[in-house]
Amino acid sequence: MHASAEQLIASMKKAKIDKALVFGGEMNACSIDRLLSAIAPYPKQLYAIGSVSPLSPQKPTVEKVEDLLSKKQIHGLKFYPGYEHFYPADASVRPYLKLLVKYNRPAIFHSGDTYNKSGVAKLKYAQSIHIDDLATDLPDLKIIIAHFGYPWEIDTAEVCYKNKNVYVDCSGFVYGKFTAKQKKHFREVIKKFELISNARDRILFGTDWPIGDQTSYARTMQSLMGKNFAKFYSENSIALFGLK
């Protein structure tokens, strides 16, 4: 799980990825300040997403987050329900989400499977169906359900179908490189999602590096997305995160 910005740049070069949105988080011992410092040497390649642990005494203040958003030092916020025990629509999160609405930037929520090495992750907080409450309450908030909400991709698809302000990313589906079996399975996940959601244009590319191998991810997704690859690979994210 520990890796440097320099290693990320090397991985991106190998995978032919020009730019990336990156985030850390308190659960990864990477505050916003530490993240900004780490990526500072690569201003044209790495773009910061802030992170907030809403129940933590160490969480950044609302004032600090607004300052970073207003100066475009961060381009959105990542939250970790499941690893941290809160639901996406909790009152503790709302002040930060209202800032995202104000600056037209997205909120990313970890959803789906949780890595339980620490023994504290709780799946009930990470079920993608809970995003519906938030998307309904804040229809002007752009929300990204990370990891397709897998293995609840059917719930994820229904939330996206009902709420046009909800997107998904494809990251974190494998550890390392895709095997043939995993590629076939992921194709079925995407098909089920598209059949219900009718939201192919709201799928975003991502890898969850250093967990997922970026070269394998890029090649796999290019084969799965076909003619829609360019929009999925970059155009959707550029527009959503305000990077034009």
Q: How far apart are CA 15 and CA 20, in angstroms?
A: 12
At 116, the pLDDT band (50, 70, 90 cuts) reads confident
Q: DSSP readout, 132-172?
A: HHHHHH-TTS-EEEGGGGTT-HHHHHHHHHH-TTEEEE--S
Task: Give me the pLDDT at residue 117, please.
Answer: 63
For residues 179-201, average pLDDT: 94
Q: How far apart are CA 48 and CA 163, in angstroms?
A: 26
Cα end-to-end span (Å), the chain: 31
Of the listed ranges 59-68, 113-122, 177-186, 194-203, the least confidently predicted one is 113-122
124, with CB counted inside 10 A (0-12, 13-18, 19+), is exposed
For residues 199-228, average pLDDT: 91
At 64, the pLDDT band (50, 70, 90 cuts) reads very high
Q: Assign a CATH topology to domain 5-240.
A: TIM Barrel (3.20.20)
Q: pTM of the full predicted structure?
A: 0.96
> How many Cα atoms sit within 13 Å of 61 on the Cβ side?
3
At 127, the pLDDT band (50, 70, 90 cuts) reads very high
At 118, the pLDDT band (50, 70, 90 cuts) reads low
Host H or E run for residue 77: strand 77-79
Q: Which residue has the tokens 């079996």?
A: 181
Q: Which residue has the tokens 């930037």?
A: 105
Q: Which amino acid is at 159?
A: V
What percentage of the chain reaches a pLDDT higher than 70?
Answer: 99
For residues 165-179, average pLDDT: 95
For residues 32-48, average pLDDT: 96
Using DSSP's 3-state secondary structure scheme, residue 129 falls into helix
Asked whether residue 44 carries a pLDDT value surpassing 70, the answer given is yes
At 231, the pLDDT band (50, 70, 90 cuts) reads confident
Domain range list for the chain: 5-240
